[in-house]
Amino acid sequence: MKSDDIKWRVIDKPGETFKVHRSIYTDPEIYEAELKNIYESNWIYVAHDSQLPNPNDYFTTMVGRQPVIISRDKTGKLHGFINACTHRGAKICRKKKGNAKNWSCPYHGWVFNPEGKILDIKSLDSAEFPDNFDMQDYNLTAIKVDSYAGFIFASLNTDVQSLEDHLAGAKVFMDLFNEQSTEGLEILPGSSMYTHHGNWKMQAENGVDGYHLDIVHASYLQLAALRAKEAAEAAGGTDNVKAIQPSNPDVSGGNYCLGNGHVMIWLDIPNFRDRGLGLQYDDLVSRVGEGKAKWMAGRLRQVMIYPNVILFDGISTQVRHWRPLSHEETEVTVNCIAPVGEPTDARKRRLRQYEDFYGASGLATPDDLTEFDACQEGYNGITSPWQDFDRGMKSHIMGADEEAKHLGLEPESSAPRAADESIYHGEYRQWLKLLIDGSD
């Protein structure tokens, strides 16, 4: 696409208005440009360290449209490859995850090791290859892989900036997440995948949308309150979930644009002592101090690392990542993540809160997915083509607010309410930049 075909779709007038044209969710040409210039040119979240903990472990997934293998070699170093044999292109690793000292392609038997090096070509002696044939030209095609605080990212772009530079302000919140335990975090067994009608960018918007909470999740919030009330009255009521009920995002919390499209919202949790980490709050305070403990256990944080993952730490703890299947279909993978070595009662509480709210089998996510479908349908009403992200613009400030300064965070911008939609300026400025940079 030419840059002139792209840039009119975002109107960015600081202090005045910020609008996007709804064709960004429906235009197949825009979608192609996003795959090429966002998903296949940037760092994409692929896995957590705990999903391939041992030497020779591997994990298979997708980056944009392309199948990849993430592997750990015998020294523990991470590698990544296109999951296609350099001979005839068959996928080499067929399972979701495994452990192997070498990988033999199931089609013609070429053999590679977890560093991507080719070890054997079947019947090489009788191959009659031309004289210029060099076996070392057939090592697996490497991609960039790096990790931060246990979260592993991959990029198909060999010239991509360093992962730390890419993560920018998000690193502060990744550290806060990871330091909940001195031993780090682990993905708990039990993955879930769901699909929905609706452009992938609605995933990136919704997970940091404080404004929809009491409308879309009215049934959840009312039920959580009713449950707690009936259990307190003890007239046959029980409450083993103790659902987390954050403060009102219309008047409290805040949001930050963290750079490179990454954004986050935060909210205080009045009943934070009902959380898995809240059950250990006093120990946490003595380990990390009151200020940090408040952020870790007492504040909901939902951190969107552009373009494909959100780290949720509030209602429970979830890593949610997605990949677009088309301009109007999205596939989402969700995992519960927890501090390593967590006490049994805290682990159980975390799981019950997770299952109660999250996932397509929970009491909240299906309502979000229904709204994405409704938006995608509504966007077809292109006679009404523009939407603004102006809510909160008056109180949105560039740079750090007081809370950010306490944290040592240097955000691009700060806002005083979790329901402010100025958070999307960070996402869509990055969206526009990446598409313009990659345009013809």
Partner 1 sequence: MAIDQQLTADVADFLFYEADVLDRRDWDDWLNLYEDDCLFWVPAWDDDTVLCEDPDNEVSLIYLDDKNRLKDRVWRVNSGLSSSLVRMPRMAHLVSNVRIIEASEGRILVHAKFQANAYKLDEYRVDFFFGDYQYELLPKGDSFSIKSKKVIIRNDIIPRQLDFFSV
Name residues contacting partner 1, limited to 178-217 (CB under 8 A).
Answer: 188-197, 216
Per CB under 8 A, 378 contacts partner 1:
no
List the structure tokens of 102: 């070498």
Count the Cβ atoms, other than its own, within 10 Å of residue 278: 20
Report the residue number, 366 or 438, with the smaller CB distance to partner 1: 366
The nearest distance, CB 386 to partner 1, in angstroms, is: 24
The nearest distance, CB 432 to partner 1, in angstroms, is: 30
Per CB under 8 A, 346 contacts partner 1:
no
What is 24-81 written as a DSSP string?
Answer: HHH-HHHHHHHIIIIITTS-EEEEEGGGS-STTEEEEEEETTEEEEEEE-TTS-EEEE
Contacts by residues 128-132 (CB-CB < 8 Å, ≥ 24 positions apart): none
Question: Which of 73, 179, 250, 367 touches partner 1 by CB under 8 A?
Answer: 367
What is 258-320 written as a DSSP string?
Answer: EETTEEEEEEE-TTGGGSTTGGGHHHHHHHH-HHHHIIIIIEEEEEEETTTEEEEESSSEEEE
Cα 216 to Cα 350, 367, 379, 381, 426: the distances in Å are 23, 6, 19, 22, 24
Q: How far apart are CA 60 and CA 246, in angstroms?
A: 36
Count the Cβ atoms, other than its own, within 10 Å of residue 78: 17
- What is the pattern of x (binds partner 1, CB under 8 A) and - over residues 23-62? ----------------------------------------
Report the residue number, 95 or 394, with the smaller CB distance to partner 1: 95
Q: Are 419 and 391 in contact (CB under 8 A)?
A: yes
Report the residue number, 88 or 96, with the smaller CB distance to partner 1: 96
Q: How far apart are CA 42 and CA 35, in angstroms?
A: 10
Question: Which of 162, 361, 380, 395 touches partner 1 by CB under 8 A?
Answer: 361
Stretch that binds partner 1, among 99-107, 127-135, 162-170, 364-372 (CB under 8 A): 364-372
Q: Are 94 and 101 in contact (CB under 8 A)?
A: no
What's the residue count for the chain?
Answer: 440
Cα 66 to Cα 81, 213, 326: the distances in Å are 10, 34, 14
The nearest distance, CB 191 to partner 1, in angstroms, is: 7
- What is the pattern of x (binds partner 1, CB under 8 A) and - over residues 296-335? -----------------------------------x---x
Furthest C-alpha separation in the chain: 86
User: Which residue is it, tokens 């969206």?
Assistant: 431
Per CB under 8 A, 139 contacts partner 1:
no
Question: Which of 75, 344, 383, 384 touches partner 1 by CB under 8 A?
Answer: 344
Q: With CB under 8 A, what is the number of residues at the site for partner 1? A: 48
Amino acid at 151: F
Name residues contacting partner 1, limited to 241-260 (CB under 8 A).
Answer: 241
Report the residue number, 262 or 321, with the smaller CB distance to partner 1: 321
Stretch that binds partner 1, among 104-112, 124-132, 226-234, 260-268 (CB under 8 A): 226-234
- What is the pattern of x (binds partner 1, CB under 8 A) and - over residues 93-132? --xxx-----------------------------------
Residue numbers at the binding site for partner 1 (CB under 8 A)? 95-97, 188-197, 216, 218-220, 222-223, 226-227, 230, 236-238, 240-241, 331, 335-336, 344, 347-348, 351-352, 354-355, 359-361, 363, 366-367, 369-371, 373-374
